[in-house]
């Protein structure tokens, strides 16, 4: 996977894996790996800043939990995040159709 390809698409992917249920950051990385069949093995330095960005923009909200001394930051979609996910899916479909048309 070429890094540049992913630009502009990561945020939608993160929103998508958080749609069923809230997850903590590290679990988001694993969920992306799992749901992509191992294709998306993203480094922490990619995902953590993205989560912070999405929270800053009001699409995610987070809570700290401390189960037995281990601190985790659990992220969930806000209302705006959920509607933004719809927009992102739409935008992806349109984008993919455009690229398909030119490349085919």
Q: Write out the residues near DNA by the rule CB under 7 A.
A: 1, 3-4, 6-11, 24-27, 42-46, 48-53, 68-74
Instruction: Enumerate the H helices of the chain as residue ranges.
Output: 3-6, 10-18, 25-35, 44-56, 79-103
Counting contacts by CB under 8 A, is residue 88 touching a second copy?
yes
Q: Is 16 in the site for a second copy (CB under 8 A)?
A: yes
Selected range binding a second copy among 37-45, 48-56, 58-66, 68-76, rule: CB under 8 A: 37-45
- The partner in contact with residue 16, picked from a second copy, DNA, none with C-beta cut-offs of 5 to 8 angstroms by kind, is a second copy
Our CA dihedral for 87, 90, 96, 100, rounded to 10 degrees, sits at: -150
Query: 77 is in the binding site of which of DNA, a second copy, none (Cβ under 5 to 8 A by kind)?
Result: none
Does residue 36 interact with a second copy by CB under 8 A? yes
Applying CB under 8 A, does 48 fall inside the site for a second copy?
no
CA angle 5, 96, 77 (to 5 degrees): 75
Confirm or reject binding of residue 99 to a second copy (CB under 8 A).
Answer: yes
The tally of CA atoms less than 13 A away on the side-chain side of residue 42 is 31
Other CB atoms within a 10 A radius of the CB of residue 61 amount to 15
């Amino acid at each position: 996977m070429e890094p540049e390809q992913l630009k502009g698409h990561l945020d939608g992917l993160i929103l998508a894996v958080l749609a069923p249920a809230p997850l903590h950051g590290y679990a988001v990385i694993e969920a992306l790996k799992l749901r992509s069949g191992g294709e998306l093995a993203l480094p922490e330095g990619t995902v953590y800043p993205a989560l912070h960005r999405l929270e800053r923009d009001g699409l995610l909200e987070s809570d700290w939990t401390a189960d037995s001394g281990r601190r985790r930051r659990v992220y969930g979609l806000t209302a705006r995040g959920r509607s933004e996910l719809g927009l992102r899916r739409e935008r992806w479909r349109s984008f993919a159709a455009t690229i398909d048309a030119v490349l085919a």
